[in-house]
């Protein structure tokens, strides 16, 4: 996970937008992923983006990719208490294996 970096914590007010940022190092990554992990649970695939895309929108989720800067972000619109979790960014490396960041803990406050 040391090749993928994320900020560790984010606190956001309910109803506001959350933006989680990630930087990666492998310029040959074909796919980049966002996963969500709730306490004591496995990882839930939220969305992914192919490396030739700049943006992908899926309901409340928007993924932005800046391939030049190797920067990925996930925006969650209208953040709800159920969005409180740890969010992991991951890049696909050789043979489509995933390299994960350390995760960003998102806390939604009322």
Partner 1 sequence: EAEVAQSPRYKITEKSQAVAFWCDPISGHATLYWYRQILGQGPELLVQFQDESVVDDSQLPKDRFSAERLKGVDSTLKIQPAELGDSAMYLCASSLGGPQGGYEQYFGPGTRLTVT
Positions touching partner 1 (CB under 8 A) are 1, 4, 31, 33, 35, 40-45, 48, 88, 90, 92, 95-98, 100-103
Q: Based on CB atoms, which residue is closest to partner 1, 11 or 44?
A: 44
Q: Based on CB atoms, which residue is closest to partner 1, 17 or 57?
A: 57
Cα three-residue angle 21-23-24, rounded to 5 degrees: 145
Q: Based on CB atoms, which residue is closest to partner 1, 40 or 82?
A: 40
């Amino acid at each position: 996970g040391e090749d993928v970096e994320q900020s560790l914590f984010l606190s956001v007010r309910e109803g506001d937008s959350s933006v989680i940022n990630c930087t990666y190092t492998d310029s040959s990554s074909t796919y980049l992923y966002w996963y969500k992990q709730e306490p004591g649970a496995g990882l839930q695939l939220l969305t992914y983006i192919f490396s030739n895309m700049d943006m992908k929108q899926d309901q409340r989720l928007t993924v932005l990719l800046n391939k030049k800067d190797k920067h990925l972000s996930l925006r969650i619109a209208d953040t709800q208490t159920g969005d409180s979790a740890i969010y992991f960014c991951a890049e696909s490396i050789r043979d489509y294996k995933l390299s994960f960041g350390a995760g960003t803990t998102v806390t939604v406050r009322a």
